[in-house]
Structure 1
Amino acid sequence: MAAVAVHSAVLGAGRPTLPYAETGRPGGVPLLLVHGYLDSWWTFEPLMRLLPPGLHAYAPTQRGHGDADKPAEGYLPEDFADDLVAFMDGVGMERAVLVGGSSGGVQARLVAGRRPDRVAGLVLLGVPATLADKPAARELWRTVRELRDPVDPATAEALVQGLTARPLGRGFLKTVVDETLKAPAHVWRETLRGLLETDLRSTLAGILVPSLVVWGDRDPVLTREDQQTILDAIPASRLVVYEGVGHVAYWEAPDRVARDLTAFLADRAPGPAARG
């Protein structure tokens, strides 16, 4: 199992400080793991421990989430995408393959479309083409818009339960819930508002890098048709379907995700991992 180290990145004036996890050999193929709504770097911990040392993976916790700084505003997908570029600058990543999990794929593909000079490839793990037509997202908004601090643990547990087709380990599930509860009510509210009010289909524009789309056929949120929208928008993309897997493949099947990532990256090393 690969060792995972945790550090902190200061993104600069006016930007938050973000904790991040790191694994792999310096000089290896740089990989940037982008978590989704209310998660933290911990969401990728099972996957990171299975990655080969030739992949140099970074997993930052995004603003407002986990132990990252929690500004009063700045929770649109564009804000998170700008933070990702600032993070890459801060840790010296010239180019990387971006791996977005769930809604984290929205900001990952924003960077891929707007800063192709910084992105060598894109992997989308259970990422929506849009949320505007998703009943589950609208139902969640009805709960989130009324939230007040402190957030009830039962609300966090309800959010996590049902995302996977198979039961998770009790310890890992508790960690996910605990990390979710570190986000204050305004982060729950404004982050989801940003996802619902942004035209997410427009964030698929301009992506020309090779892209891998992973979808579990027991995903309770996303449909095959939703994933087809992504494939139609990204010319160099292909879909891998995980049978019997729910929304968060990197929780349920981290070993398979690690293998598919490794195969996808085998012939597309992004170049220099760091400056100097």
Structure 2
Amino acid sequence: MKMRQDDWHRRKRYVETPGGRPIALIDSGGNRPALLMLHGFSDTSRSFATLEPFLSRFRLILPDLPGHGASVLDEGMRVDDFATSIDRLVERLGLEDIALVGHSMGAMTSIELAARRRHEVSALILLSASLRPDFDAESPISRDIRALGDPIDPSGRFLRDWYACSRPVDSNFLSKMKLDAAAMPAATWQGILDGFNETDLRHSASCVTAPVLCIAGSADPLFGDPHRQALASAFQSVRSITLEGYGHNPHWEDPEKVSALILSFLSEVGRSEPSP
């Protein structure tokens, strides 16, 4: 299946949220079950262009998180702040029965949102997640982000390394992801990095009542085995799948396989059929 990405920006619309700033999103519409998908740090809703062709039975709601893509910053740059913004979006769209999919920082945001919206979130799917992201100040990633200045070069070493994958990924897709990431100011990169130091989702995870699926790659350079083990014991109902040889972006590296895992899980928890 071919992903739609050349017209990605033109497909976005803006939704005014109660008490907050507008959020840019793609909404496939219709009366199908809603699948709200939250992307990772420095990405945009385009992150899920790889999965979109396989998930057409759902109403896909793909926002740009605040400070990313076409959504401006709202209240702050912590995971808790992003969850507040998406909570407002859920209210504005009147969503009452949601399956949540989150990748990396979007997975963290999804955990917090699922804890707040226990009556609305019926399934939670986490790709490359962490409860406590630990980016040490002296780690190469932290040092590189601290050294960023504007304008960020989309073809420079930093974004080449940042978007390195363990398996082949469509080069045209990755080039567009790099352009989107380079448009984010260096100060936003650095502010979000600071926010990770304040992130601890263990209590939020314990409050999630929806069934949870965790998908991760065994070669994830950011969130390795200790993070996967913590997730496996954090929720009331959880299934963990580790994909051997996959990295931090399994939904880019093998969208068909990841989509099949998502669809199977949603079918098991009764979220695969359109509402009557």
Same fold by TM-score, threshold 0.5 exceeded?
yes
Residue 209 (structure 1) shift: 1.0
Q: For 1:60 and 1:207, how far apart are their aligned partners in 2?
A: 22
Q: Do structure 1's residue 116 and structure 2's residue 118 form an aligned pair? A: yes
Q: Which residue of 1 aligns with 2:127?
A: 125
Q: Do structure 1's residue 158 and structure 2's residue 161 form an aligned pair? A: yes
Q: Which residue of 1 aligns with 2:220?
A: 219
Q: Which residue of 1 aligns with 2:39?
A: 35
Q: For 1:254 and 1:137, how far apart are their aligned partners in 2?
A: 33
TM-score with structure 1 setting the length: 0.88
Q: Which residue of 1 aligns with 2:91?
A: 89
- CA distance 1:29–1:13, change in 2 (3 Å): closer
Q: For 1:9 and 1:266, how far apart are their aligned partners in 2?
A: 31
SS at match of 1:197: coil
Q: Is the 8 A contact 2:69 2:184 kept in 1?
A: yes
Residue 11 (structure 1) shift: 3.1
Q: Is the 8 A contact 1:2 1:50 kept in 2?
A: no
Q: Do structure 1's residue 245 and structure 2's residue 250 form an aligned pair? A: no
Residue 171 (structure 1) shift: 0.5
Aligned residue pairs total 268
Q: Which residue of 1 aligns with 2:68?
A: 65
Q: For 1:187 and 1:17, how far apart are their aligned partners in 2?
A: 18
Residue 247 (structure 1) shift: 0.9
Q: Which residue of 2 aligns with 1:50?
A: 54
Residue 2 (structure 1) shift: 8.1
Letter in 2 for 1:8: R
Q: Is the 8 A contact 1:103 1:127 kept in 2?
A: yes
Q: Which residue of 2 aligns with 1:20?
A: 25
Letter in 2 for 1:140: I
- CA distance 1:137–1:56, change in 2 (3 Å): farther
Residue 203 (structure 1) shift: 3.7
Q: Do structure 1's residue 266 and structure 2's residue 270 form an aligned pair? A: no
- CA distance 1:13–1:186, change in 2 (3 Å): farther
SS at match of 1:59: strand
SS at match of 1:57: strand
* Alpha-carbon RMSD: 2.5
- Deviation track 1:199-222 (CA, whole Å, cap 9, x = no partner) reads 243442311210000011121222
Q: Is the 8 A contact 1:75 1:191 kept in 2?
A: yes
Residue 139 (structure 1) shift: 2.8
- Which deviates the most, 58-67 or 147-156? 147-156
Letter in 2 for 1:48: E
TM-score with structure 2 setting the length: 0.88
Residue 118 (structure 1) shift: 2.0
In structure 1, runs of 5+ residues without a counterpart are: none
